[in-house]
Amino acid sequence: MTVSKFTLPDVGEGLTEAEIVEWKVAPGDTVTINQVLVEIETAKSLVELPSPFVGVVGEILVPAGTTVDVGTPIITIRSDAASDAAAAPGADVPAPIREAADAAADVANTITEDGSAAVLVGRGAAATMPTRRKRHSGARVAHESMAPPAAASARPAATPLPQQVPGAPVGPVFAKPPIRKLAKDLGVDLSQVTPTGPIGDVTREDVLREATQVSVFRNIETPEWPADREERIPVKGVRKAIAQAMVKSAFTAPHVSLFVDVDATRTMEFVKRLKASTDFAGVRVSPLLIMAKAMIWAVRRNPTVNSTFTDDEVIIRHYVNLGIAAATPRGLIVPNIKEAQDMSLLELASALERLTIIARDGKTSPAEMAGGTITITNIGVFGMDTGTPILNAGEAGIVALGTIKQKPWVVDGEVRVRYVTTIGASFDHRVVDGDVASRFLADVASIIEEPALLLE
């Protein structure tokens, strides 16, 4: 019988330590290759570590709640006789078993010749992240950018977008009283919800799908004061990483901020048409989608905002890894959509939805948060008009989308009720001059005012 020690791996991005959050196995349990052993929290995300061994759990060396360095042994696994036979040179075993054993050896966490820990990433070599998952009733994440995703559905062939007349009356909404109360509590306008019930009625899932993250943050009930006069929370994990990144950004890059009020009425009309289109069936569509596309378009016209400053040079990226600031129970994270400049509107909507699913599950990997070039923060879902966002470290621009609400607005010399929002942006003034920043923000605003410009 062989006893193997599983050491804490570097799951990417130069990890040096991590906290053991929850053990998924106990001493005496039988484990197989790629079975999840433990959930750890790095400075950026929660990661499930798969087993590179087949055998029986011997001893858990590090209890949950402990922070340990990469390379520290955290669990032992005893291999049985069959496993030893499979691993023995020349053993007469079926090819699939030997291939699995070889794969396990490849990803086993050993100390390499240079003294560094071998890298084991995510859920194991055979695992993939689904783009959609079954909805459950557990705790939900509040995401600064998006509401809970729509249920998956097949998309029929494309049809022309239906024409809608702005200001046309909305038909009756069919919903049971409990559903109406839920919508009221979550701040959902039932007239904006696409019903999926058997008689064309709005269901609970429809309301939850439409609900924005501000609903999660809204204090529907006022709790009692806790018995303890003070609560002390250790600064570690994501909170520690956030603090370090914000301090570095705020006191390294000289920020300059600009703001502009925008008539977003046509964006709201466009969003309604997209929701009614069969091409976008089953995909979450929101004004953030138009904002994302507007930023990509404006970056192409003003590439300096999509750069990073070093002591020796300014690096201008001719691609967009679009960061979406996400507020989760674990803190602020900024995953990004890779190569967003090459995506169609539908592809971008699907990518935003997938990003939300992963963030809500707390499974955003370090790789998905690395390499961002410019960021959006959607503070409008919290009912905020605008703000002065701090740059994501290593980026030269960040845009804040404020709440979109009806206000009086002058159109052709007449005061009318329009959907209005305020867009704020911050830039690294070492790289982005005032004229470039102004042109970029004006370009973004022009798309929000007239999305048809995206057809250029």
Q: In the chain, what percentage of residues exceed pLDDT 70?
A: 75
Per the model's pLDDT, the better-predicted residue between 241 and 416 turns out to be 416
> Does 94 score more than 60 pLDDT?
no
pLDDT of residue 163: 38
127 close to 24: Cβ distance less than 8 angstroms: no
Q: What pLDDT does 450 receive?
A: 95
- Measured CA to CA, the distance from residue 116 to residue 331 in angstroms comes to 30
Q: Mean pLDDT over residues 49-62, rounded?
A: 90
What CATH code is assigned to 2-107? 2.40.50.100
Written as one letter, the residue type at 102 is D
Instruction: Give the Cα-Cα-Cα angle 142, 144, 145 (nearest 5 degrees).
Output: 115
- Locate the domains of the chain by residue range: 2-107, 177-217, 237-455
Quick one: pLDDT at residue 41?
81
Give the homologous superfamily in CATH for domain 237-455. Answer: Chloramphenicol acetyltransferase-like domain (3.30.559.10)
The band of 14, judged by pLDDT with boundaries at 50, 70 and 90, is low
Beta-carbon contacts of residue 3 (< 8 Å; ≥ 6 apart): 58, 76, 77, 78, 79
Answer with the residue of higher pLDDT: 65 or 181: 65
Confidence at 44, pLDDT banded by 50, 70, 90: low
Is 429 catalytic? The answer is yes
Cα(92)–Cα(299) distance, integer angstroms: 60
For residue 2, which amino acid is it?
T
Determine the pLDDT at residue 426.
96
Is the model more confident about 433 or about 139? 433
Query: Which position has the higher pLDDT, 122 or 383?
Result: 383
Pair 411, 418: CB distance under 8 Å: yes
Catalytic residue among 143, 255, 318, 429: 429
Task: Read off the amino acid at residue 152.
Answer: A
Residue 261: pLDDT band with limits 50, 70, 90: very high
Please report how many Cα atoms fall inside a 13 Å half-sphere around the Cα of residue 428, on the Cβ side.
28
Q: For domain 177-217, which architecture applies?
A: Irregular (4.10)
Arithmetic mean of pLDDT, 435-452: 95
